[in-house]
């Protein structure tokens, strides 16, 4: 019974319900999950469901390696579009563009990273 209860709790708090921090983004699914909601979702009732969803270090490394080719493609295409080939300058320009986007969206890159880390169980 506890196994099914923790699975139900995980489904309810991750898939069905959430409390999000409002931003200017019209797409509410992109709003960052409120840290208070994370605390509720990780309540002891679902302790073994959390353990099952946690990524191991090997899985983290595999995910990073999986992301790199796409990230490289995006960065090289961005560099080509803005006429810059040097990596540091591409990174600098990406940061400038993202900071402008942060202002328009009402949320920061850092907030999004923290939200992703929480949802991945790494932060």
pTM of the model: 0.53
CA–CA dist 84, 95 (Å, integer): 14
State residue 45's pLDDT score: 61
Asked if pLDDT for residue 25 goes beyond 50, the answer is: yes
pLDDT surpasses 50 at 29: yes
Higher pLDDT, 48 or 17: 17
Percent of all residues in the chain with a pLDDT value above 90, rounded to a whole number? 37
Q: What is the pLDDT of residues 62-104, one digit of tens each?
A: 889 999 999 999 999 999 999 999 999 999 999 999 999 999 9
Helix (H, G, I), strand (E, B) or coil at 95: helix
Residue-wise over 86-111: b if at least 16 C-beta within 10 A, else e?
eeeebeebbeeeeeeebeebebbeee
């Amino acid at each position: 019974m506890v196994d099914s209860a923790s699975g139900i709790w995980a489904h309810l708090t991750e898939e069905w319900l959430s409390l999000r921090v409002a931003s200017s983004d019209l797409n509410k699914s992109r709003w960052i999950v409120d840290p208070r909601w994370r605390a509720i979702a990780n309540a002891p009732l679902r302790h073994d469901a959390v353990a099952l969803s946690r990524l191991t270090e090997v899985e983290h490394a595999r995910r990073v390696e999986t992301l790199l080719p796409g990230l490289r493609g995006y960065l090289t295409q961005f560099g080509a579009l803005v006429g810059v080939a040097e990596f540091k300058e591409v990174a600098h320009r990406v940061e400038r563009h993202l900071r402008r986007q942060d202002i328009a969206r009402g949320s920061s890159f850092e907030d999004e990273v923290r939200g992703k880390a929480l949802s991945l169980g790494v932060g």
